[in-house]
Amino acid sequence: MFLRNCWYVAGWSDHFPEDALMARTIVGDPIVLYRKRDGGVVALEDRCCHRLAPLSRGRKEGDDLRCMYHGLKFAPSGKCIEIPCQDIIPSTAVVRSYPVVEQDCWVWLWMGDPALADRALIPGALNHDRPDWFMQTGHLAYDANYELINDNLLDLSHLSYVHENTLGRNSMSWRESRPKVTQIERGLRIRRWVVNQPAPGYLGLPPETRTDMWASYDYMVPGVFLLATQSFQPGTAAACGMQAPSSEPLWRVATSQAVTPITERQTVYYYSGCLERKRATEQNSREQIAAFEKAFAEDKAMIEAQQQVIARTADTRMLRLSSDGALNQFRRLMVGLIDAERPLEVAASAAAE
């Protein structure tokens, strides 16, 4: 089951060059995306209303898209505006058009009722495309259900195990830190001190460097992870009474990540790595994203293997532990929103009949 009335990341802005037609599948819907002459992105159902050929095999003509099977031409609204050798265009000659917003270097699509598309619901990525921050980007395809990836990002205690030699830095500091989880509008806020943690290798610091790190993230519907960390001298967490710090950190790191379901068994994961320019070099930034990608390959291996076990196992009940609090809360939030839009689906299908 997917939530439809929300924004999904369809890709990084540079995934959609001028003059290209890009095919995507999001929550099971085939979509073709292209840029208009003013740079704005159009997203249409990738299925011609005539004989169901993919419009992504078509041709861009100005701001319009022509199906290259029998030549129907569609406006960015999805309305057919030309049928070769036919003067009358039936009102049913239309393909679905999806609301699109380009924000923070991401192209966001609204997959539900267009009348409900509210750009204020797009989670704001952290420090993307800012002159005072380095930013590196990437994406990863998963053969796994999106919920397993949300679960993974909602319980960072896995850093001490899945990422034992990478992000976990051979330390139990993540496992031993207890996050505080609070509900926020359409998401959860998860904060903790990670005490006496080895510094990341990508900053080129002496290997014995340790810090107390304040890690705070918002996890937003439908699966957007917005993490900011601040690192301080060891002892800072205790000096703050384990509350949020107010002093200037030694350095800051930000990463924004988006989980986009393709089908029930396929997902794409988009991520950034951001470092403040005043405290890092471009080389540090490149090494940071390389470190992230090494770790994300570890997540992928574990989660895809987990997905295979789930697929083979008739009874997929899971044991609930106290460390699962955030992921269970987020699953409940998603189920509530998905259930709430079901009457809309029923009404929409009744109206269509």
Please choose, from the candidates 52, 44, 38, 48, the residue with its C-alpha nearest in 3D space to the C-alpha of residue 22: 44
Query: What phi and psi values does residue 47 have, to the nearest 5 degrees?
Result: -160, 110
Q: Is 57 one of the binding residues for ligand FES (CB under 6 A)?
A: no
Nearer to ligand FES, 51 or 332 (CB): 51
Nearest CB to ligand FES, comparing residues 96 and 186: 96
Query: Distance (Å, rounded) from C-alpha 72 to C-alpha 80?
Result: 7
Residues 134-193 binding ligand FES (CB under 6 A) are: none
For Fe ion, the binding residue among 299, 307, 327, 330 (CB under 5 A) is 299
Q: Should residue 71 be labelled a site residue for ligand FES when binding is judged by CB under 6 A? A: yes
**Is 151 a residue that touches Fe ion (CB under 5 A)?**
no
| CA-based nearest residue to 3, from 352, 325, 330, 304 | 330
CA triplet 134, 299, 103: central angle to 5 degrees? 40
Could you tell me which residues are beta bridge partners of residue 194? 213
| 299 binds, options ligand FES, Fe ion, none, Cβ within 5 to 8 A by partner type | Fe ion
* Residue 8-47 contact track with ligand FES, rule CB under 6 A, x = bound: ----------------------------------------
Q: Which stretch binds Fe ion (CB under 5 A): 32-40, 183-191, 252-260, 291-299?
A: 291-299
Asked if 155 interacts with Fe ion (CB under 5 A), we say no
CB 124 within 8 A of CB 272: no
> Is position 104 an interface residue for Fe ion (rule: CB under 5 A)?
no
Q: Which of Fe ion, ligand FES, none does residue 53 bind (CB under 5 to 8 Å by kind)?
A: ligand FES
Residue 303 in contact with residue 327, Cβ under 8 Å?
no
Nearest to 332 by CA among 3, 9, 8: 3
Q: What is the token pair recorded at 307?
A: 């997905």
Candidate residues 15, 50, 79, 96; the one interacting with ligand FES per rule CB under 6 A: 50
List residues near ligand FES by CB under 6 A.
48, 50-51, 53, 67, 69-72
